[in-house]
Amino acid sequence: MSSTPQLPPIGRIEERTVVDLLAKGRRMDERKLTDYRALEIETGIVQKANGSAMVHLGKTKVLTGIKVELGQPFPDTPNQGVLTVNAELVPLASASFEPGPPSEAAIELARVVDRGLRESKAIPLQALCIEPGKKVVIVFVDVYVLDHDGNLIDASAISALAALLTSKMKRFELKEGEARMTDEVAPLGIQNEPVAVTAAKIDGNMILDPCLDEELVMHSRLTVTSDHDGVICAMQKGGMGAFTDQEIRQAVGTAIQKGKEIREIIRGATAGK
């Protein structure tokens, strides 16, 4: 059952600072309302994974590892590989994360990242079928949140995409009815680049890329994931507040623009890797 969360306490002074500064169009870290924090992407840091990417978004750190395995397709899509996205809010990332079964926040995070990848058809699932109805390639995307300073959705989506873009897998072939791994190594053949951009609403102001202090005082957030053609492929509103329709329309336009800038950074960090 989902229940109203007990938010970790935020100091009155910090809360006032965030709100008062925003009223003047400023933020605690001197960013403009639509600025992102510094974004750094490192790829290939886990050699045992098929691909990996560590994203630093300000002080937020997310590591995604990709594992590719053979398995069975879903009965309703016998000719397609399988995409599985999971997110772990690792207890070392925040005082509010606890070990145990995934929280609703972790499930929401994984499902929003999943929808972006799935709906933009980033992964060529048709090409990942080896023997229809029997053997297909399963792509596991495991998002590992290591340090939580806000905006986990965007950092996770960037990290998942960067990891997928740099993933390599051994080609599978069917020999004498058996699916076998060859020695030939190839990229996954990612065919789209969905980028999630999250806007937060605080006291009627809209900002992008909220840090944790801003998330603790925000009323609601809106994530818009757009693909490389600027087409929206996933959206998610979160938080207990509401948006007016004008706020949503404006956030959508801004998110598509911002998505282009972030996509270029991801391309720069993954090209040729």
Shorter beta-carbon distance to another protein: residue 147 or 250: 250
**Of 51-59, 112-120, 147-155, 260-268, which part binds another protein (CB under 8 A)?**
112-120
State in angstroms the smallest separation of the CB of 240 from another protein: 4
Using DSSP, state whether 248 is helix, strand or coil: helix
Quote the CA–CA distance of 77 and 11 in Å, as a whole number: 51
Scanning 10-18, 136-144, 175-183, 228-236 for contacts with another protein by CB under 8 A, the matching segment is 228-236
Write down the least CB distance from residue 233 to another protein, Å.
6
Taking residues 117 to 136 in sequence order and writing x for each that binds another protein by CB under 8 A, - otherwise, the string is -xxx----------------
DSSP result, 158-185 = HHHHHHHHT-EEEEEEEETTEEEEEEEE
CB of residue 45 to another protein, shortest distance in Å: 28
Question: How many residues form the binding site for another protein (CB under 8 A)?
Answer: 38
Site for another protein in 1-30 (CB under 8 A): 1-4, 6
Whats the size of the chain, residue-wise?
Answer: 273
The amino acid that residue 72 corresponds to is Q
CB 153 within 8 A of CB 143: no
Q: How far is the CB of 42 from another protein (least distance, A)?
A: 30
Q: Which is nearer to another protein, 170 or 237 (CB)?
A: 237
CB of 112 to another protein, least distance (A): 9
208 interacts with another protein by CB under 8 A? no
Q: Which two tokens stand for residue 38?
A: 């510094």
Instruction: Tally Cβ neighbours within 10 Å of residue 239.
Output: 14
Give me the 46-85 binding string for another protein, x by CB under 8 A, dash otherwise: ----------------------------------------
Q: Does 111 bind another protein (CB under 8 A)?
A: yes
Q: Do the Cβ atoms of 85 and 110 come closer than 8 Å? A: yes
Tell whether residue 156 is a contact of another protein (CB under 8 A): no
Burial class (CB in 10 A: 0-12, 13-18, 19+), 138: middle
DSSP states of 36-60 as a string? PPPEEEEE---TTSSEEEEEEETTE
143: three-class secondary structure by DSSP: strand
C-alpha–C-alpha distance, residues 110 and 98, integer Å: 17
Residue 45 as a binder of another protein (CB under 8 A): the answer is: no
Retrieve residue 136's tokens. 């297909």
Pick 155 or 234: Cβ nearer another protein: 234
Binding site for another protein (CB under 8 A): 1-4, 6, 104, 107-108, 110-111, 115, 118-120, 220, 222, 227, 230-245, 248-249, 252-253, 256
